[in-house]
């Protein structure tokens, strides 16, 4: 199991960072900075609270004047690259939201996002001042730097993971459509992924809006087509009829029998411990209507994962997404590991395993998961 990301701030990371700041600005008190950051409850803090704590420690040890503090950070930020330095934009979020600092903070967010990411830090600015931030986001969407263009899309996502939700865009995402339109054929895959994820967020509350955008965009450019497909992935998983038709999946009635002649799903083990693995053997024979017509089908397996409160939540995993001949048989095995991840913790209990064809369940079985 991978180490929690929060541990990257243990060891010598903060000591080395403090030393770098001291070299750039002699009055910097490294010991005080470390004491402020790692006081009392440091060990219990998760990743984002640690990032906030470091930003607050900087506020306590850098010059009390915000522009002067930014000037010190600007002396070293070009060598502070990557995820660990999210506390740079977080410093702007904590100390730079005053009206008198607006222009300076906008420049700081655009600067810091080039080497880390300001996608979380920009969100309070959007929530508090949408009338000022929407034009700013549109301006960033035209920036020559891909990181700044991505900030425009990623920072304004209504449901950014780990980020504060932007309720106004959950209710009405239409102000962001012109921004996404501006980025729909961006040359950077980094940006295009963000546009697709932004649209996928919108599908959770306004699927018809995204489908209208998708129908308008599809076929305009190969990069845009990729965005459209990735943006509609949740709708395809739900077997939304309009989304399925958009991407050429074979339509079917409510019963999987309209596409599947037979389907079987068996497990190598039906009783395993957390951390173990199981082989899923699946066999599907598709109908043969006596023609040469091929089916475009999405085959998945699903697991109803038991959650901490005892309820279950279904997650589906892709097995195949292609065209199949009539009467074709697929007979394969897939290994699934029930090891804890940073994104998923496993809990004991009965886990229903299912087989899906174009969003319709075709077979099921059950596995009992125990503590290690």
The pLDDT of residue 259: 85
**What is the pLDDT averaged over residues 216-222?**
97
Delimiting residues of CATH 2.60.40.10 domain(s) in the chain: 256-370
The pLDDT of residue 293: 86
How many other C-beta atoms lie within 10 A of the C-beta of residue 211?
A: 20
CB within 8 Å of 3: residues ≥ 6 apart? none
Q: Write down the pTM of the prediction.
A: 0.86
Beta-bridged to residue 331, according to DSSP, are: 283
Q: Is the pLDDT of residue 244 over 60?
A: yes
pLDDT in tens, 351-372: 999 999 998 899 999 999 999 7
Delimiting residues of CATH 1.25.40.290 domain(s) in the chain: 5-246
* DSSP strand pairing (349-357 vs 260-267): unpaired
Fold of 256-370: Immunoglobulin-like (2.60.40)
CB within 8 Å of 27: residues ≥ 6 apart? none
pLDDT in tens, 98-127: 999 999 999 999 999 999 999 999 999 999
Distance of alpha carbon 301 from alpha carbon 335, whole angstroms? 11
How far is residue 351 from each of residues 314, 338, 366, measured CA to CA in Å? Answer: 10, 11, 6
Mean pLDDT, the chain, rounded, equals 95
Name the residue among 342, 351, 345 with its Cα closest to residue 369: 351
Is the CATH code 1.25.40.290 the one for domain 5-246?
yes
Q: Is the pLDDT of residue 291 over 90?
A: no
Distance of alpha carbon 4 from alpha carbon 50, whole angstroms? 12
Q: Is the pLDDT of residue 2 over 70?
A: no
For the stretch 319-324, contacts whose Cβ atoms lie closer than 8 Å and that sit 24 or more positions apart, written own/partner, are 319/282, 321/297, 322/296, 322/297, 323/294, 323/295, 323/296, 323/297, 324/286, 324/294, 324/295, 324/296, 324/297
Q: Tell me which H or E stretch contains 227.
A: helix 222-231
């Amino acid at each position: 199991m991978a180490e929690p990301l929060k541990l990257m701030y243990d060891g010598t990371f903060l000591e080395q960072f403090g030393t770098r700041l001291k070299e750039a600005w002699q009055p910097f008190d490294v010991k005080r900075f470390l004491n402020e950051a790692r006081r009392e409850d440091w060990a219990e803090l998760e990743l984002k609270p640690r990032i906030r704590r470091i930003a607050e420690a900087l506020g306590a040890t850098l010059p009390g004047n915000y522009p002067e503090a930014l000037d010190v950070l600007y002396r070293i930020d070009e060598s502070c690259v990557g995820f660990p330095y999210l506390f740079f934009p977080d410093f702007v979020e904590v100390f730079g939201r005053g009206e008198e600092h607006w222009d300076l903070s906008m420049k700081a967010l655009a600067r810091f996002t080039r080497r880390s990411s300001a996608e979380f830090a920009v969100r309070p600015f959007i929530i508090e001042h949408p009338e000022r931030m929407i034009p700013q986001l549109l301006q960033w969407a035209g920036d020559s730097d891909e990181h700044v263009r991505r900030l425009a899309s990623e920072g304004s996502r209504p449901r950014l993971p780990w980020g504060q939700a932007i309720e106004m865009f959950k209710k009405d995402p239409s102000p962001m459509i012109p921004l996404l339109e501006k980025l729909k054929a961006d040359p950077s895959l980094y940006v295009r992924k963000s546009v697709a994820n932004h649209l996928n967020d919108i599908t959770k509350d306004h699927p018809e809006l995204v489908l209208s955008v998708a129908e308008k965009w599809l076929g305009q450019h190969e990069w845009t087509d990729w965005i459209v497909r990735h943006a509609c992935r949740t709708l395809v998983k739900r077997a939304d009829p309009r989304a399925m038709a958009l991407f050429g999946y074979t339509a079917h009635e409510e019963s999987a029998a309209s596409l599947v002649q037979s389907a079987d799903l068996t497990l190598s083990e039906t009783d395993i411990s957390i951390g173990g693995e199981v082989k899923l053997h699946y066999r599907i024979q598709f109908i043969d209507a006596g023609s040469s017509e091929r089916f475009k089908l999405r085959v998945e397996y699903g697991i109803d994962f038991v959650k901490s409160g005892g309820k279950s939540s279904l997650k589906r995993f892709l097995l195949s997404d292609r065209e199949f001949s009539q009467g074709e048989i697929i007979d394969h095995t897939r290994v699934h590991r029930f090891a804890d991840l940073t994104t998923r913790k496993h809990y004991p209990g009965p886990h229903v395993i299912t087989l899906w064809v174009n969003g319709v369940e075709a077979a099921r079985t059950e596995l009992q998961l125990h503590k290690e």
